[in-house]
Structure 1
């Protein structure tokens, strides 16, 4: 076989990083900066704000120890965990996230890569603190899980939303949020182009997400009062939302004029909380309640776990998904494993 047309081979080895010249280093640094900027632009705004808060906490801690903020070692990270747990009395999940926020900020803004063994040691200390707290039967820290908004709750809350433009928006947010198992940031991030009509209902592209983007097929509901498709169409028509690049859910002036600006994730969660309070619920529903409610109701109806995960965006076998599927009735056959087994 002729080798005339084959590319020439070379015995030269590739350059090692230590052998890069100044021009190549500069071009690589520019590429790093551009990629960091792009990646940061893809991150949900609430995650970015959380990382800023994490860094502020880390800065205060470092000032007290009189160490530079770039000194993230095994000892300083363990001391950070101790500071947050014993002095600040922070919840386990908050401390775990702050460790992640500090790690990401140091890598992206200061090119400081923390030794994985150092973060592992800090998290092991955090786990030890939690085990010790549980053994001592201390009260759990943090707000705890958001109560699941079940279908009966959803029906009552939606029915008590007003018929004006405020009520149409709130009802659409509640019902569509439940249907796509939305986090509050996912609701706030929806654009008109993400909600497409289909003969069977809607196809909702959830692009702003902590996990992988997903497309949720939302069918027409069995009951008009809780149908997310009808609720969305009523709000869209009332608000006259036509620009595909504008937010699906908007701010509304107190006069009733729909504004071009979208909602913040915090405001989206507040709307859900306020709707529950207006309906007379003492449990404080949050933005996560519709997400947990969908997973809980689907489980109780015997829906396939993969089908539930396809809507919530969890990976198959996710332990986090189990946390969304709440026990809602300890004496119900579905939620009590002892009933109906032949005792």
Structure 2
């Protein structure tokens, strides 16, 4: 048995990666694969589904170019970017995510392939070059772009036009509670009755199904009863006769008006928000993300502290996404806009 690749004793020089033997490399690869599999299992279902779609795109590309899917080299990844950008006309964010999806999937069983970071960097650099060229040529932006923020005045108009039947009660509760907890559509769809607890001051909403860490949002009664998320939730809960704590909070409703035990899919939750906006006469398409961005934007307009907003949205310190919400508002703040009061 070789002792060259055993852990170094105290005071000895540790081994460098180039000095690892085949047995140690195999053990490290197995540990990497287990860690990647664990991380994959803990990802939200919609993220796993997205990575699965990314892998399907990669396999189709590899088959067309007659290369094995495990050959994620600098050349193949750059060719993949070129293929998606020029042939399939995919959006920048979509291609960037597909690169991540390929790298993540390759680390899992049965591949156990760790993509060289330099290869990924080269592919992303090419993607940035393509985007710069597209912007310089003033080509139309690709993809849907950012979801429009649902401002408070928009929310008031939309919920005012929701019906008073069981369909309208569900949609009103989804919109107002979704706005109050800055929900993504998957977070709304994932809420169960046990996640929404009564409190003397309103509701305590445990957001368990999330892309980020779980969070608990204290939702107070609103001064305006017409847009009160607590009252809207209780009205829907009573109409739907929701009592089983394990059932979903927002459920399917049969066309006859009977509430079904099945919950909504994230896609359906987003579609209901879009449909509510269209019924209210808005031309821009609000999406499931609009209530989330709307809450962050409106809170900033009211002068709420960034940390207080992040506690509700679940953003981390230094989040670029949260920075974007702040910039929308702060560009007209006299302390952040050097032109205000200058002329």
The structure-2 alpha-carbon separation of the partners of 1:187 and 1:334, relative to structure 1 and needing over 3 Å to count, comes to farther
Question: For residues 40 and 240 of structure 2, what CA distance do their matches in structure 1 show?
Answer: 31
- Deviation of the 1:97 alpha carbon: 0.5
Q: What corresponds to 1:182 in structure 2?
A: 183
Q: What corresponds to 1:5 in structure 2?
A: none
Q: What corresponds to 2:283 in structure 1?
A: 282
Q: What corresponds to 2:97 in structure 1?
A: 97
Question: For residues 327 and 144 of structure 2, what CA distance do their matches in structure 1 show?
Answer: 16
Q: What corresponds to 2:64 in structure 1?
A: 64
Q: What corresponds to 2:16 in structure 1?
A: none
Q: What corresponds to 2:265 in structure 1?
A: 264
Q: What corresponds to 1:244 in structure 2?
A: 245
Question: For residues 121 and 31 of structure 1, what CA distance do their matches in structure 2 show?
Answer: 23
Q: What corresponds to 1:295 in structure 2?
A: 296
Unaligned runs of 5+ in 2: 1-8, 13-19
Question: For residues 80 and 36 of structure 2, what CA distance do their matches in structure 1 show?
Answer: 26
- Deviation of the 1:322 alpha carbon: 2.4
Q: What corresponds to 1:106 in structure 2?
A: 106
**Structure 2 length as normaliser, TM-score?**
0.87
The structure-2 alpha-carbon separation of the partners of 1:322 and 1:36, relative to structure 1 and needing over 3 Å to count, comes to closer
Q: What corresponds to 2:206 in structure 1?
A: 205
Q: What corresponds to 2:73 in structure 1?
A: 73
- Greater shift, 291-300 or 129-138, is seen at 129-138
- Deviation of the 1:302 alpha carbon: 1.0
- Deviation of the 1:175 alpha carbon: 0.3
**Alpha-carbon contact 2:220-2:230 (below 8 Å) kept:** yes
Question: For residues 322 and 342 of structure 2, what CA distance do their matches in structure 1 show?
Answer: 29
Question: For residues 19 and 142 of structure 1, what CA distance do their matches in structure 2 show?
Answer: 47
Unaligned runs of 5+ in 1: 1-10
**Alpha-carbon contact 1:146-1:289 (below 8 Å) kept:** yes
- Give CA deviations for 1:260-318 in whole Å, capped at 9, x if unaligned: 11111100000000000111111111001101111111111111111111111111221
- Give CA deviations for 1:157-194 in whole Å, capped at 9, x if unaligned: 10111111111110000000000111111111111111
Q: What corresponds to 1:337 in structure 2?
A: 337
**C-alpha RMSD of the superposition:** 2.9
Q: What corresponds to 1:228 in structure 2?
A: 229
Question: For residues 334 and 46 of structure 2, what CA distance do their matches in structure 1 show?
Answer: 36
**Alpha-carbon contact 1:170-1:272 (below 8 Å) kept:** yes
The structure-2 alpha-carbon separation of the partners of 1:99 and 1:233, relative to structure 1 and needing over 3 Å to count, comes to same
Q: What corresponds to 1:3 in structure 2?
A: none
Q: What corresponds to 1:116 in structure 2?
A: 117
The structure-2 alpha-carbon separation of the partners of 1:302 and 1:113, relative to structure 1 and needing over 3 Å to count, comes to same
The structure-2 alpha-carbon separation of the partners of 1:30 and 1:292, relative to structure 1 and needing over 3 Å to count, comes to closer
**Alpha-carbon contact 2:33-2:108 (below 8 Å) kept:** no
| 1:133-172 correspondence runs (5 A) | 133-172=134-173
**Structure 1 length as normaliser, TM-score?**
0.87
3-state SS, counterpart of residue 287 of structure 1: coil
- Deviation of the 1:335 alpha carbon: 11
**Alpha-carbon contact 1:333-1:339 (below 8 Å) kept:** no
- Give CA deviations for 1:39-59 in whole Å, capped at 9, x if unaligned: 444322221221121111111
3-state SS, counterpart of residue 219 of structure 2: strand
3-state SS, counterpart of residue 215 of structure 1: strand
**Alpha-carbon contact 2:277-2:285 (below 8 Å) kept:** yes
Q: What corresponds to 1:44 in structure 2?
A: 44
